[in-house]
Chains A and B, each alone.
Chain A
């Protein structure tokens, strides 16, 4: 009996050693990068395209021989746009996969849920797409490659006053979503500062489907423009009800409206939103990216795809410059970024936010009857 126990014990030890050796070896020939994307759930069109673009970028590096002589492996986790799941994904990536850098998360509420934990665990967190102002406040290891909400809100308010000659604005926002409330604040402040009046500011709770009460209230205030700071799926529901209630204000939105053209009915025609890039822009980098993406996935990439592609490039190039994926060295290398990418020329300010311009697009009805976007103009940060 005793001998059997010893034999069994020895077997276990041998197994553990073998497993350690095998996994340890596996870890040394690839460079692991984690990513947390909402590839299913309400913003799946954003998450899946962003992930696909990152995979494309990683494959391009690998085809050239990898980074620091190693093949890059992108470990994808899905958070379903649920901040709790984002946290679980981060812990899994850090403890099980032992990644040093994470690309993600997608939406601001998910990213805000993990910034402090990432900072505490000493992982570099680089979000391609979270625009809420506070995202990079948690510490010096948090970066992003998109512009901030205060900039977006400001641009759309300016556009409403200067280009649309609006004097009365209304806002309908999600009070539980950091993205939505941040945008509302900056839009309202700028609109008021430019001499306009915010005649109605109504809210709803995330997941609501009935907005008729708020829309009736907004209609009574007779605004010239209605700002809808939310993601495409909720916005398409709101727009449908706005038109069913007979409210005909010009609709304005942020970058969350990207993909709206595939989701909403013709009620959305005539709306304006700002975005990170336009696939129609006559820019060589943009056209090259759009061509490669179409070739590989068969669809035109949205702005989130472009941001994901850029973020993967910025991060991997910084790893090459730093010569390691150690977060502290990587941080310094990232700050040296100064190059033109698909979504524009990128340098980071002292808060790790990129300084970049935004594109304003208009929703139009294309020749084939489907909705499309039309390039309206470009706004640079001050």
Chain B
């Protein structure tokens, strides 16, 4: 395998990992765009989604069709959960200082993780997520597996769908309006509460989908599985410019590729350090992130 082939292979690996980060980062960025809250519980939604599809697949058995169908219950469950979390935990704090909601989000995250640990049918021990048999395809010496194709296709498909909802539907335009100026949007007759709930619906269902893709690619699920991807996706969102939707996607892909290329060509021991160092550097140069708008403090 020559250098070019290896480079392409590593980039491919990185894009596959990055598409999961991107999907998850969308949830962080959308919620931040609308309510200016960093929803730390979002990574744990990934875990919940993975567990729901795990139980569904245990019932139905694993075939490509059931795997695709399992997105439905997982996304439904997680969007319900997302909306409930917003209504119960975040809404009462909406007019309080922002730090209160932030700390609540961290609390919800702990609640989900440790709640899952004590639930008897989940428990603290890792489980094996059902996988499809290994199938590999080769193009010009570059190997792509069935799982990687699945991750790509589903992730890109969902991103296109999200793009459509946000830019071409009435509720999507209302979301943009709320994100731009909540007060003015309310004055124009937009039901802000409904838009916020809808944002959580979108974010949580994408999180659930990311959970299934993550579990399919790395078939081991446990209550803490959402922490690392959640962290990385949050960083991807900040890096791309938090609040910006194309920014989150770009950030996710760049982070995935940067991480994989560092492991592949520099040092696997310093991978995270180098990848995050790079991000810090970019944020020093461009503090609002790649595609973020510079925000002047309103007086």
Contacts and interface: CB of A to CB of B under 8 A. Distances in A.
B145 A205 contact: no
B220 A236 contact: yes
A263 B128 contact: yes
B13 A216 contact: yes
A229 B261 CA distance: 24
Given A202-B268, A204-B268, A236-B219, 9 more contacts: A41-B125, A210-B217, A213-B260, A216-B264, A220-B1, A233-B126, A237-B218, A244-B145, A263-B128
Nearest to B272: A205
Interface in A248-266: 263-266
A246 B6 contact: no
Interface string A206-241: 010110111011011000000000000100110011
9 contacts: A209-B228, A210-B217, A212-B17, A213-B262, A214-B268, A217-B263, A217-B268, A244-B134, A244-B147
B93 to A, nearest CB: 32
Given A209-B218, A245-B145, A216 B9 contact: yes
Contacts, number: 93
A210 B218 contact: yes
B269 A175 contact: yes
Interface of B: 1, 6, 9-10, 13-14, 16-17, 123-126, 128, 131, 133-134, 136, 138, 143, 145-148, 217-220, 222, 225, 228, 259-264, 268-269, 271-272
Contacts of A237: 218-220
B6 A216 contact: yes
Interface of A: 40-42, 44-45, 80, 175, 202-205, 207, 209-210, 212-214, 216-217, 219-220, 233, 236-237, 240-241, 243-246, 263-267
A265 B260 CA distance: 25
Contacts of B124: 40-41, 44, 80
B219 A240 contact: yes
A209 B264 contact: no
Nearest to B138: A246
A219 B1 contact: yes
Contacts of B138: 246
Given A41-B124, A203-B268, A203-B269, A240 B131 contact: yes
Contacts of A44: 124-125
A213 B13 contact: yes
Nearest to A42: B126
A42 B138 CA distance: 34
A78 to B, nearest CB: 10
B220 A245 contact: no
A93 to B, nearest CB: 21
